[in-house]
Amino acid sequence: MRIPKAQVEAMLAHARSGYPNEVCGLMLGGGAEAARHVDDVVGVVNRETEAPRVRYQIAPEDQIRIQREARDRGLEIVGYYHSHPDHPARPSETDRRIAAEGLSDGVIYVVIGVQGGEEATPTAWTFRDATQSFEPEPLDVD
- The domain ranges of the chain are 2-141
pLDDT band at 121 (very low <50, low <70, confident <90, very high): very high
Span 42-99, pLDDT tens digits = 999 999 999 999 999 999 999 999 999 999 999 999 999 999 999 999 999 999 999 9
* pLDDT for the residue 103: 75
Span 13-26, pLDDT tens digits = 999 999 999 999 99
3-state secondary structure the chain: CEECHHHHHHHHHHHHHHCCCCCEEEEEEECCHHHCEEEEEEEECCCCCCCCCCCCCCCHHHHHHHHHHHHHCCCEEEEEEEEEECCCCCCCHHHHHHHHHCCCCCCEEEEEEEECCCEEEEEEEEEECCCCEEEEECCEEC
* CATH code at 2-141: 3.40.140.10
Tell me the whole-structure pTM to 2 decimals: 0.95
Span 35-55, pLDDT tens digits = 899 999 999 999 999 999 999
Average pLDDT over residues 113-135: 96
pLDDT band at 104 (very low <50, low <70, confident <90, very high): confident
Mark whether 22 is an active-site residue: yes
